[in-house]
Structure 1
Amino acid sequence: MEDPALDPDIEAFYSRLGENDRLVVPPDGRLEYLRTQILLRRLMDGENLRVLDVGGGTGVHSAWLAKDGHAVTLVDPVAAQVEAARTLNGVEAVTGDARKLEFDSGFFDVVLMLGPLYHLVDREDRLAALREGRRVVRDGGLLAVATINRASAWFDELTRESTGDPEQEPTIDEGAAHFETGVLDLVAKGIFTRAYFHRPQDIAEEFTAAGLPAPHQYQIEGQLAWSPHLASILDDPAQREGALRMTELMEADPSLLGVGPHLLSAVRK
């Protein structure tokens, strides 16, 4: 495979280094960050693991993984993000692409793909990334992949106040087309890139097409993400504990997997 090309819109968007704040400031980002930690700490088996954080951005997740005592390597295609990640203690950060990882086969105990899959709009690119994840994780190791749920764009519109600007508001036709194809292009609006939104069954099928077992699947944020009171829930320890407990109880219910913003699909090789 030739060296894959980086979409210039993706490079431009992430060179702003917005990932430094996205998971620590807004309540929906805080919830995503917290639940990702909970799920990965539960799924990762052992101490002092060799972890590859593919598409790890500025290292928001790599940082806590390193503090937990793991040997973390971050790879990301955006040079500005890699430079930011290199300032983190215990994290080795290199430039690279999920579709062609420059690492030995079976080297890592854990491979995380918490960002790349929704930026790979073409199915063959997603399968290439999954095959690379399968290749570089050891036998018995963990591969965990995050995807954006197909319906989340519509749920987000329902819970967000109108901007009042018709140029910024998606039409029903745009929403219907997105739900049919999974592709959403937000480059012109300046709020995201062109991206692919999965249905839970779609990413499960892509795992098997890439030679992986059918994954276990978990809601990351679940229905809690859409609460208009999310900020106050997270700020109150008692409310937060109860809400997280309910989210955990429902996280793997097949009827609810596509309800929240993000899904985690995980397998052991």
Structure 2
Amino acid sequence: MVDPVERHIEQALARCDCTAELGDARTLTAADRSYDAVLLLGPLYHLPERSERVQALREARRVLRPGGPVAAAAISRHAAVLDLAAVDRLAPESRMRETLATGRHDRAIGFTTAYFHTAEELASELAEAGFEDVRLNGIEGPTWTVLKGVEAHTGESLAASGLLDSAIRAARLTDGDPALVAASSHLLAVGHA
């Protein structure tokens, strides 16, 4: 594990039998072709510049053995708008317009300074970094906002209502559908070195 936050390193070492080091996804210390797989959870949405995100992906490719998989998570461009709308917190003149237009999310709106991807951008960044056979998946599926809204407005148990099972079925049915992937709050791109 490589993380830029010392507390995260300490927590990982306390919970798992793994190696963990302070570092930056853009400049890994690992040797070329030294890992069977790479999982990127966080770096892409914490790097606002495309060149920085592509550099992190290139580093992931550098440390992967030939043919090795990368799984890279990103936040969907529309996640914040859909989230706020589901819980009735989207203001009529929302400051989300800039995030929707540019992908850059201002921490003053909530969450943190981040970059929110379109599905096409995420796929193109992996391709630019040299990954092949890139496929995109939506993590939560297209009906996550229904679950969020019901829970926020009624406090109803989602498992008891059957809505959770229905949302899981919808996610499985639409998994990989280019028209619905970006409806998910988070995207997962998988490619090979």
- What's the TM-score, normalizing by structure 2? 0.88
Query: Is 2:141–2:167's contact at 8 Å kept on the other side of the alignment?
Result: no
- Cα deviations across residues 208-239 of structure 1 (Å, max 9, x unaligned)? 21122251111100123212236733x44965
Other structure's SS at 2:117 match: coil
Aligned partner of 1:180 in structure 2 is: 101
| Higher alpha-carbon deviation: 207-216 or 145-154 | 207-216
Unmatched 5+ residue regions in structure 1?
A: 1-73, 163-168
Asked whether 1:222 is paired with 2:141, we answer: yes
Q: Distance in 2 between matches of 1:264 and 1:111?
A: 13
Unmatched 5+ residue regions in structure 2?
A: none
Instruction: Quote the RMSD (CA, aligned, Å).
Output: 2.1
1:200 to 116, 119, 131: 119
Query: Is 1:205–1:214's contact at 8 Å kept on the other side of the alignment?
Result: no
**Cα distance change on mapping 1:212 and 1:268 into 2, 3 Å:** closer
Aligned partner of 1:232 in structure 2 is: 157
**Cα distance change on mapping 1:237 and 1:85 into 2, 3 Å:** farther
Query: Is 1:215–1:266's contact at 8 Å kept on the other side of the alignment?
Result: yes
**Cα distance change on mapping 1:170 and 1:124 into 2, 3 Å:** farther
**Cα distance change on mapping 1:90 and 1:210 into 2, 3 Å:** same
- What's the TM-score, normalizing by structure 1? 0.64
Count residues in correspondence.
187
Give the percent of matched residue pairs that are identical in Structure 1 and Structure 2. 36
Aligned partner of 1:10 in structure 2 is: none
Matches within 5 A, 1:256-267: 256-267=180-191
2:132 to 213, 218, 230: 213
Aligned partner of 1:131 in structure 2 is: 58
Query: Is 2:73–2:188's contact at 8 Å kept on the other side of the alignment?
Result: yes
Point out which structure has higher relative CO (alpha carbons under 8 A, 6+ apart): 2
Query: Is 2:77–2:116's contact at 8 Å kept on the other side of the alignment?
Result: yes
Query: Is 2:104–2:116's contact at 8 Å kept on the other side of the alignment?
Result: yes
Matches within 5 A, 1:34-49: none
Could you tell me how far 1:243 is from its partner in structure 2? 3.1
Matched to 2:78, the amino acid is A
Query: Is 2:9–2:22's contact at 8 Å kept on the other side of the alignment?
Result: yes
Q: Distance in 2 between matches of 1:131 and 1:149?
A: 21
